[in-house]
């Protein structure tokens, strides 16, 4: 049980440090390079909290953690910098959910296929 708590503590620390702009310290981070990934980006506007406990806001996206680990920094063209901090029931594979500040903005974005940059 202790290792499970430790894993969530490290995950939460990584997410919070990325959200606050402190950067995530990882072993071997110097050798890791960003990569690109083609995904379907779907916009939504709902209040609430993410799976990692963060308040939803612009820059917080939902991902499939099997493809993009929680806490990962992303760049989404047309949306900006983001962090993978949530999971969704319908998020399987190459789909991400982008939180928008209003329903009108979410409808305007709709669903787009984009090539995101994933920073490990």
pTM: 0.72
The confidence score (pLDDT) of residue 22 equals 42
CATH number at residue 21: 2.40.40.10
Number of domains in the chain: 1
Burial of 71 (0-12, 13-18, 19+ CB in 10 A): buried
- The ranges of the chain with pLDDT < 70 are 1-31
At residue 89, φ and ψ (nearest 5 deg) are -60, -40
The confidence score (pLDDT) of residue 7 equals 52
CA 27 to chain centre: 21
Which structural domain range is residue 6 located in?
A: 2-119
């Amino acid at each position: 049980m202790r290792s499970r708590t430790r894993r969530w503590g490290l995950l939460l620390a990584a997410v919070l440090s990325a959200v606050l702009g402190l950067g995530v310290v990882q072993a071997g981070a110097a050798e890791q390079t960003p990569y690109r990934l083609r995904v379907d980006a779907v916009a939504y506007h709902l209040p609430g909290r993410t799976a990692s406990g963060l308040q939803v806001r612009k820059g917080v996206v939902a991902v499939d953690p099997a493809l993009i680990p929680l806490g990962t920094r992303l760049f989404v063209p047309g949306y900006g910098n983001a962090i993978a901090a949530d999971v969704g029931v319908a998020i399987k594979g190459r789909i991400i959910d982008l939180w928008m500040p209003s329903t009108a903005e979410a409808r305007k974005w709709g669903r787009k296929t984009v090539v995101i940059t994933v920073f490990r």
